[in-house]
Structure 1
Amino acid sequence: MSEDHVPVFEEFIYCGGAATQVLKIGPWINLQKPSGEIPPKVLFLIIPGNPGIVGYYRTFMASIYSGFNQKYPVWAVSHAGHCSPPKGMDMASDSANETIEDVFGLNGQIEHKLCFVKKNVPADTKLVLIGHSIGCYIILEMMKRAVDVKILQSILLFPTIERMAQSPQGKIMTPLLCSLRYIVYMPLYLLSFLPESAQASLVKFVLRGIKSVDESSVAASLNLFRVECAANAMYMGSQEMLQVLERDNTAIRRYLNKQSPRIPPDRKQEVILQNLQESSLLNTFKLYFNSFS
């Protein structure tokens, strides 16, 4: 099935007191209230990196959906405040007891994802969590806190789960995000007045060195011309640098030590690495998932 024929649904909601964008691939829009059809038993849920804009993952999500023969829904939930809802859009408000303290911070984003799962995923639905970058750290924390959530498996893609501030990029970004991020707000405010076509051209110019940049990534990047979205992303980033320190080996051993019944434990990593070399990321992803299903 080509991407043009993949069912795509996009919505903006309030979750934990913050604007949230949800991208859904597949015909299942509301798992809590399915319209006649039998609800799926498994949901793939993507937890993004930073900035946590779901549009960056659209092509990847469609590939997962098609790669698994359209059997399972694939969703992505944005980070709190990293999206810009359409002007005039009527969004239902949370009740007061669902508002999360410091929802734009790192801990608040973890609680935000747990709140989303609690409100939108049936208790008997098994989750396959897919984390990207800081989303992997969020998943590890979710697994520690959500003991009542049925997590079938977690897939960590390019994980940033330790000593972020000590990395070469972190040494540059830490002072920028922690002390100098306010300097960026005024240029962003001025750029926000540009027409979207000009903003899109600017994004394409910045990304010109990256191969295979699709239009969904360009459209997603337009959120960063909204000062509030960029500010929330940078604020979260500042906390990442200060709070993501030592790797949580205890959690990793506890939750990521399942062995596949189909691949001998001593050969599992070898098989996955070999498949990475010989095939695509999607095939490797499918192999990894199927070994636990």
Structure 2
Amino acid sequence: MQEYRHPNSDRVTWTSDEKDTIMETLSSEGRLESLKEHIYCCNAATEVLKFGQSNLLHASGCEESSSVLFLIIPGNPGIVGFYKTFMQVIYQSFDKKYPVWAVSHAGHCVPPDFMDMKEDTNDAELEDVFGLNGQVEHKMAFLKQYVPRDVKLVLVGHSIGCYIILEIMKRDPLLQVLKSVLLFPTIERMAQSPQGKLMTPMLCRLRYAMYVPIYLLSFLPERIKASMVRLLLHRLQTLDESCVSATINLFSVDCTANAMYMGSQEMVQVMDRDNATIQENQEKLIFYYGENDNWCPVQYYEEIKRDFPKADIRLCNKGIRHAFVLDAGRDVALMMTEWLQKVLHSL
């Protein structure tokens, strides 16, 4: 079986036989067991989805403890359920050796009945935890509280999650980051992008008008909500079913309001690309741009490729959409794990 090598890298990718084995295992095992937790982080309701080791703090120093953690930082809305299949394939691709976690954005979840969206406490809290800067601090607080400093990280960002990862790497340069994979990265000029021009007025001036219909829809039975989601996404030929239950979270006014508020700040604050942080961490970064992505158009890919000719910056030629988790989570996970084989197998 021939092996393919990326022209800008000496990483060896999965052979077709290895891909078939992974997919057959997934089909035979069904969904691997995952753990879903709701916690307060920065006093805000947060959902954490985990495949593999559930508590790195307690396991640190034990022989069976993993020295590597995959941490997924989602796009917006930052609902971790969208990434379930994507995470499952990553976990299986490395023979369940490394835990794979995803942490939601603060307030981008529907907490259980016994939890409020914000914790009532006298402890110091972020002034604006639901805003963009607050979400960066929220992820840093999560790492500090739940991940030992000696654990090596593979950070995987999607959309605005890529911006958050670059901010984390800038603010905490001693973090043990092996690689950061930035998928469909919205790291510059969001409001000037084709989709940004369309969404900026809605997010910045008209978002309050959306709250009343969402509130009314929230009273519908769950099965009706699920049917509505499937109807809205009916054009997708291979809709990932885990995304249906994830989308139902958006029938919560609080969850949607927090997502739209964060989005409004993205339009205003995500302006210039952080070239200094990219330059400082160039060897740790992998960028993956979409060929037809209206949030980060090909022009942005061409410009960053020009400015960083030695960086690992790739352009999708598979027609994968910006919201890849809806129908291509498995494909992107298999492709991404190919890129990471060498760095992880050398540990």
Q: Could you state the TM-score of these two structures normalised by the residue count of structure 2?
A: 0.76
Pairwise CA RMSD of aligned residues? 2.8
Q: CA deviation at 1:14?
A: 0.3
CA spacing shift, 1:205–1:280, aligned 2, 3 Å: closer
One-letter amino acid of the counterpart of residue 286, structure 1: T
Aligned to 1:246: 272
- Give the Cα–Cα distance (whole angstroms) in 2 for the partners of residues 56 and 259 of structure 1: 23
**Paired residue secondary structure (1:13):** strand
Aligned to 2:170: 144
1:178 maps to which of 188, 199, 204: 204
Q: Could you state the TM-score of these two structures normalised by the residue count of structure 1?
A: 0.89
Q: CA deviation at 1:287?
A: 2.9
2:55 maps to which of 30, 34, 40: 30
Aligned to 1:54: 80
Q: Aligned ranges for residues 14-25 of structure 1 at < 5 Å? A: 14-25=40-51
**Structure 2 contact 42–125 (Cα < 8 Å) conserved:** yes
Between 1:8-17 and 1:279-288, the stretch displaced more is: 279-288
Gaps of 5+ in 2: 1-24, 287-308, 320-329
Aligned to 1:163: 189
2:93 maps to which of 62, 67, 72: 67
- Give the Cα–Cα distance (whole angstroms) in 1 for the partners of residues 216 and 316 of structure 2: 49
- Give the Cα–Cα distance (whole angstroms) in 1 for the partners of residues 284 and 41 of structure 2: 32
Gaps of 5+ in 1: 261-265
Q: CA deviation at 1:259?
A: 9.6
One-letter amino acid of the counterpart of residue 151, structure 1: V
One-letter amino acid of the counterpart of residue 228, structure 2: L
Instruction: Name segments (4+ residues, structure 1) moved above 4 Å.
Output: 89-98, 266-270, 272-277
Matched, 1:289 2:340: yes
**Structure 2 contact 68–153 (Cα < 8 Å) conserved:** yes
Q: CA deviation at 1:285?
A: 1.4
2:71 maps to which of 31, 37, 45: 45
**Structure 2 contact 77–108 (Cα < 8 Å) conserved:** yes
Residue deviations 1:73-124, cap 9 Å, x none?
0000000001001223599959644522200000000000000000000111
CA spacing shift, 1:202–1:90, aligned 2, 3 Å: closer
Matched, 1:230 2:281: no
- Give the Cα–Cα distance (whole angstroms) in 1 for the partners of residues 118 and 210 of structure 2: 32
One-letter amino acid of the counterpart of residue 76, structure 2: N
- Give the Cα–Cα distance (whole angstroms) in 2 for the partners of residues 164 and 90 of structure 1: 32
Q: How many residues align?
A: 285
Residue deviations 1:1-21, cap 9 Å, x none?
325352210000000010000
Percent identical among aligned pairs is 56
- Give the Cα–Cα distance (whole angstroms) in 1 for the partners of residues 117 and 252 of structure 2: 19
Residue deviations 1:221-257, cap 9 Å, x none?
1110000000000000000000000111111111123
Q: CA deviation at 1:144?
A: 0.5
Residue deviations 1:141-182, cap 9 Å, x none?
000011232111100001010100011111110010000000
- Give the Cα–Cα distance (whole angstroms) in 2 for the partners of residues 156 and 237 of structure 1: 19
- Give the Cα–Cα distance (whole angstroms) in 2 for the partners of residues 286 and 88 of structure 1: 38
Aligned to 2:221: 195
**Structure 2 contact 41–142 (Cα < 8 Å) conserved:** yes
Q: CA deviation at 1:132?
A: 0.2
Q: CA deviation at 1:37?
A: 6.0
Residue deviations 1:183-229, cap 9 Å, x none?
00000000001011111111111111123212210000111000000
CA spacing shift, 1:241–1:156, aligned 2, 3 Å: same
**Structure 1 contact 14–94 (Cα < 8 Å) conserved:** no
**Paired residue secondary structure (1:130):** strand
**Paired residue secondary structure (1:44):** strand
